[in-house]
Homo-oligomer: A and B are copies of this chain.
């Protein structure tokens, strides 16, 4: 299941849904948060802009791909947009499977894909001013390793 929303999400609620099937032996979650980054150039807020129709399409596609590659019982992707603050949750990926490696590996795959394939752009308001987050070349390389 995928959700693109302004509101925050509740990890326990998603955990409950993923544990409903009693054949589930393992559940993996990844939660991405806004970092304050105090040590460098303090971040005051992060505004996520997105391309709504394309986001839904890409998230569906990524989820289908994960279900092709691994034996999953359930999967959830929640991605927020709008203005967020340090400590706020941005994204949740959750996967459940009979055996742990399917859940663990697909969860990592999903978050790696989201980094470079989900049409979001992040505008950071830092101590030094506003700036669009640039492409992380490490992320582009990481996602290639999944081919």
Q: Which residues of A contact B (CB under 8 A)?
A: 10-12, 15, 19, 22-39, 86-87, 89, 98, 100-101, 103-104, 107-108, 111, 142
**Cα distance, A16 to B79, chains bound together (Å):** 19
Q: Which residues of B contact A142 (CB under 8 A)?
A: 101
Count copies of this chain in the complex: 2
Evaluate contact between A30 and B30: CB separation under 8 angstroms: no
Complex Cα gap A29–B100 (Å):
12
Given B24, B26, B37, which contacts A23 in the complex, CB threshold below 8 Å?
A: B37
Contact B23 A38 (CB under 8 A): yes
Do A30 and B31 touch across chains, with their CB atoms under 8 A apart? no
20 contacts between A and B (CB under 8 A): A11-B11, A11-B12, A11-B15, A22-B35, A22-B36, A23-B35, A24-B35, A26-B30, A26-B31, A27-B30, A27-B31, A27-B33, A28-B28, A28-B30, A28-B107, A29-B29, A29-B30, A29-B31, A100-B111, A104-B108
**Also in contact, A104 and B30, with CB within 8 A (given A22-B38, A23-B35, A36-B22):** yes
Query: Could you tell me the distance between the alpha carbons of A139 and B24 in the complex, rounded to whole angstroms?
Result: 18
